[in-house]
Structures are given as structure tokens and as C-alpha cells.
Amino acid sequence: MNLKAGGQTRRRGAALEQAILDAAWEVLAEQGYPGFTYEAVAARAGTSRPVLYRRWPQHEDLLLATVRRFWSSQPIELPDTGNLRADAIGFLRNADVGRTRMLTLLSVQITDYFRETGMSLGELRDTIGPADQPPPFDTILARAVERGELAEPPRSPRVASLPFDLYRHEVFLSMKPVPEDVIEEIVDEVWLPLLGVG
């Protein structure tokens, strides 16, 4: 058995990587991008900088791995209620529970990263998100077409993603969860009329 001083089991492999990324997320949340250093993360994780460098040679590699882990650890459940309106509102409610804190934290804590790299939050999302999954509202719309609620899905990706785009806009404006009435307004007064559903 591999032991550290004091009889504690030495962390290796996936367990060590998880501990490092947990520590990295804590550093990012508390200190923001300026404080997100190899030194700070290694100290928080109880390991050494060379251990981090071997896994993530570049500072950006460590940041993206940290954000990717916590983005993927909080997936937004995609409802399948049998109704277009209920699916859309349900998804936005689930996003409000699962992603509001992360969205606000990222928009505030890594502003300097966006400024330094020229990357936008949308580009970051595309970088860390799963490449093999369709956008959630594409799935919601496809199901509605299969059920006969829509003749065909909208041709514009912007129209398809509009509810989540408006939801995210509300989050960034208020930096807090979006009220239920606003979620319903986004769906009932903007999106469904745009789709020709009444």
C-alpha cells in the first residue's frame, strides 16, 4: 500500500485528479482568475506544482479542466412531458436550479481570462461542453414535431435556442435566479408566438 507520512493513503490516478480539480474550483470561486495559480491550487490540494504541471502543462489547460469538470457534474435535466410548453418551462426551471450559480461565478470570476484570451462565455461553453449532444431546445422541438405540435422545427438555430438565450441574459443582468413568472413570460409571450403556437 502506498502511504503518505502520517499513515494517510497516497492519492493516485483519478482520485488525485478529482481532488486537484475540487481544490482548483474552490480557488477559482474564492480568488477568481488572478488568484488561480498553480501554487494556490497545489497548496489547496495538498500536492506539488510538478504534479499539476504533468497533467496540465499550460495554465489554461488547468482552468478548462476545472470548469469542464464542474460544468459536466451539473447536467440540466431535459424534461419529456409530452407537451412543448411544459418541456420548455421545465428545462428553464432545471437550468435555474443547476446552472445559475455557475453562470454568475464564471461571468464574474474569470472576466480577466476572457479579456486575456479574447474568448467569450459562449465559446467557452462550446469548448467544455459535450460535442456529441444536440442543443437541448433542438431536442425539445424535435419531440414536438414528432407529436404533431409543430409542423416543422424553426430553421434558425437562434430561434430554437431563444428561450435559453433570454434566460441566460436575465441571469447576467440580475446575478440571481430567474423568477418563475419571467421564465413563463419568455416561453409564453416570446417563444411560442414566434413558433406560431398559441
Q: Give the pLDDT confidence of 156-192 residue by residue, as tens digits.
A: 999 999 999 999 899 888 888 899 999 999 999 999 9
| Between 130 and 106, residue with greater pLDDT | 106
Return the CA Rg of the chain.
20
Domain spanning 13-70: which CATH class is it, in words?
Answer: mainly alpha
Q: What's residue 11's pLDDT?
A: 66
What are the start and end residues of each CATH 1.10.357 domain in the chain? 75-195
Inform me whether the pLDDT recorded for 10 exceeds 50.
yes
Q: Are 20 and 11 a contacting pair, CB within 8 Å?
A: no
Rounded Cα distance, 127 and 25, in Å: 18
Domain formed by 75-195, architecture: Orthogonal Bundle (1.10)
Q: Residue 6's pLDDT band (boundaries 50, 70, 90)? A: very low
pTM reported for the whole predicted model: 0.78
What is the rounded distance in angstroms from the CA atom of residue 58 to the CA atom of residue 123?
19
In sequence order, the β-bridge partners of residue 78 are none
What are the start and end residues of each CATH 1.10.10.60 domain in the chain?
A: 13-70
Q: Are 179 and 114 in contact (CB under 8 A)?
A: no
- Asked if 143 and 156 touch (Cβ cutoff 8 Å), the reply is no
Q: Which three cell numbers stand for residue 122?
A: 459562449
The pLDDT value given to residue 131: 66
